[in-house]
């Protein structure tokens, strides 16, 4: 039995997505910018996908800028909005727990002379709103904040930060990569000027995503070309774009997303409660904070993550020690470090992320099979600690 509990890293493509993409690969391969019949047919498919995407995300079709995924969307938003800002606005504010690639971008900007500040988080992973208010002033060009953290699942106060940014006249970029598909989302209501998303996080294909850019907001393009109304050049990835639209449609609208969120939260709670009953050394980070329904970030005493992941592997359970891009390293998670977690605890971090393919049977299997493997290790670790 193979069980996949790493949905925050990526998700399996939905059958409807694969089917929609196959039909584009075989029948709609022309360039959507070509003037001939097949090109115009591809252009119509692009328009239909854009309309479906806009409907699902609560934005206008012109507000969708297709990209290769959230990493590119994040770069386009941050570099593009900074370059378009008034000269007196030279500061950028990021949360201290952004995705690893995004924090790298922030540090690169700082090295290039932009004044960059980071909003701290509390011990439970929630954003320090008081610090945010102190940092977001009239000299700020851009605030960049994730909607939900990829490791802890903690939800960030987007509406409150949007109000702060608006009062200061700053632009707000939101990285909603982990949020979209897991909780109901509406671009028009979210208060952000720009929002990043990646299709493979909600059962779409990899290598395609979008930046939703509020109509009327100016941004300097980072890849030049006439596609996407000059905002992102390059021949459109039509199979990916059609696949992303199919992935959004199969979420079932607000009601479908909300129902799935409720199902996953119940499974996640059953998993955490069952593990805690069997293994009292269990610690769950951000358990009391508002968080994504399917994300559980935990440690078993101080058992190193690789030991736990090895036992999970034996059980054919796929999980990770944190973000896929940084797991496998021996450094403690920067997210946990920002929360004030000491390195020996952070190096024990294991992330279980549930998704649409997760079943009650998966959870029951894990609850029956994992504690017997970890219990002797935890007992041994406790005895060693007493002897020392
Ligand atoms: N932001 C967040 C919060 C993410 O979790 C990820 C993917 N792990 C990204 C950005 C980057 O997405 P992609 O790799 O699809 O560009």
326-381 pLDDT, tens per residue? 555 578 999 999 999 999 999 999 999 999 999 999 999 999 999 999 999 999 99
Residue 119: its pLDDT value, please? Answer: 98
Residue 283 is classified by DSSP as: E
The yes-or-no answer on residue 59 being catalytic is no
Question: What is the atom index within ligand 1 of the atom nearest the CA of 324?
Answer: 8
**Res 235 pLDDT > 80:** yes
Residue 386: its pLDDT value, please? Answer: 82
Assigned architecture for domain 3-9+253-387 = Alpha-Beta Complex (3.90)
Catalytic, out of 59, 190, 218, 325: 325
Question: Is ligand 1 within 6 A of the CB of residue 77?
Answer: no
Question: Is ligand 1 within 6 A of the CB of residue 198?
Answer: yes
Question: What is the atom index within ligand 1 of the atom nearest the CA of 72?
Answer: 16
Residues forming CATH 3.90.1150.10 domain(s) in the chain: 3-9+253-387
Mean pLDDT across the stretch 299-322? 96
Question: Is ligand 1 within 6 A of the CB of residue 11?
Answer: no
**Res 270 pLDDT > 90:** yes
Best residue for ligand 1 mutational test, from 9, 10, 71, 203 (most atoms within 8 Å of Cβ): 71
Q: What's the pLDDT tens digit per position in 154-171?
A: 999 999 999 999 999 999
Mean pLDDT across the stretch 85-96? 96
Question: What is the atom index within ligand 1 of the atom nearest the CA of 198?
Answer: 15
Residues forming CATH 3.40.640.10 domain(s) in the chain: 15-249
**In this prediction, what percent of the chain has a pLDDT beyond 90?**
95
For residue 201, CA distances in Å to 160, 180, 206, 242, 292 come to: 25, 8, 8, 15, 13
Residue 388: its pLDDT value, please? Answer: 75
**Res 305 pLDDT > 60:** yes
Q: Could you tell me the distance, in angstroms and rounded to a whole number, from the CA of residue 164 to the centre of ligand 1?
A: 25
Residue 323: its pLDDT value, please? Answer: 62
Instruction: State the chain's mean pLDDT as an integer.
Output: 96
Best residue for ligand 1 mutational test, from 150, 158, 180 (most atoms within 8 Å of Cβ): 150
Q: What's the pLDDT tens digit per position in 103-130?
A: 999 999 999 999 999 999 999 999 999 9
Q: Are 6 and 353 in contact (CB under 8 A)?
A: yes
Question: Which residues 6+ apart lie within 8 Å of 164 measured at CB?
Answer: 132, 133, 136, 143
Q: Could you tell me the distance, in angstroms and rounded to a whole number, from the CA of residue 177 to the centre of ligand 1?
A: 6
Residue 127 is classified by DSSP as: B
Mean pLDDT across the stretch 65-81? 98
State the virtual CA torsion across 24, 25, 29, 31 in degrees, nearest 10.
80
The CATH number of the domain covering residues in 15-249 = 3.40.640.10
Mean pLDDT across the stretch 192-198? 98
Band the pLDDT of 325: cuts 50, 70, 90.
low
CA 354 to chain centre: 14
């Amino acid at each position: 039995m193979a069980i996949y509990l790493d949905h925050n890293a990526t998700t399996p493509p939905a059958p409807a997505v694969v089917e929609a993409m196959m039909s584009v690969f075989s029948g709609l391969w022309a360039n959507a910018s070509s003037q001939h019949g097949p090109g115009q047919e591809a252009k119509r498919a692009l328009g239909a996908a854009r309309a479906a995407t806009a409907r699902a995300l609560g934005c206008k079709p012109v507000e969708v800028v297709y990209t290769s995924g959230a990493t590119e969307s994040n770069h386009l938003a941050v570099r593009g909005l900074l370059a378009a800002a008034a000269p007196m606005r030279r500061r950028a504010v990021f949360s201290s727990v952004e995705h690893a690639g995004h924090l790298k971008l922030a540090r690169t900007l700082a090295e290039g002379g932009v004044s960059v500040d980071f909003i701290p988080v509390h011990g439970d992973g929630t954003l320090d709103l008081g610090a945010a208010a102190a940092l977001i002033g009239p000299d700020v060009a851009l605030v960049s904040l994730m909607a939900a953290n990829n490791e802890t699942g903690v939800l960030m106060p987007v509406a409150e930060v949007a109000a702060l940014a608006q009062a200061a006249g700053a632009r707000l970029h939101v990285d909603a990569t982990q949020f979209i598909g897991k909780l109901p989302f509406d671009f028009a209501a979210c208060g952000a000027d720009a929002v990043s998303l990646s299709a493979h996080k909600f059962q779409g294909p990899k290598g395609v995503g979008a930046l939703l850019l509020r109509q009327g907001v100016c941004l300097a393009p980072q890849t030049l070309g006439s596609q996407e109304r000059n905002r992102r050049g390059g021949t459109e990835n039509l199979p990916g774009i059609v696949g992303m639209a199919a992935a959004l449609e199969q979420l079932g609208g607000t009601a479908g997303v909300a129902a799935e969120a409720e199902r996953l939260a119940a499974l996640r709670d059953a998993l955490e409660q069952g593990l805690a009953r069997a293994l009292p050394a269990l610690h769950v980070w951000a358990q009391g904070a508002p968080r994504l329904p399917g994300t559980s970030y935990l440690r078993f005493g101080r058992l190193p993550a690789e030991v736990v992941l090895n036992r999970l592997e034996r059980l054919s359970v796929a999980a990770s020690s944190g973000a896929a891009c940084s797991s496998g390293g021996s450094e403690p998670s920067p997210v946990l470090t920002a929360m004030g977690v000491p390195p020996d605890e952070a190096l024990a971090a294991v992330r279980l992320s549930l998704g649409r393919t997760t079943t009650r049977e998966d959870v029951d299997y894990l609850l029956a099979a994992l504690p017997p493997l970890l219990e002797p290790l935890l007992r041994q670790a406790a005895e060693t600690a007493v002897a020392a």
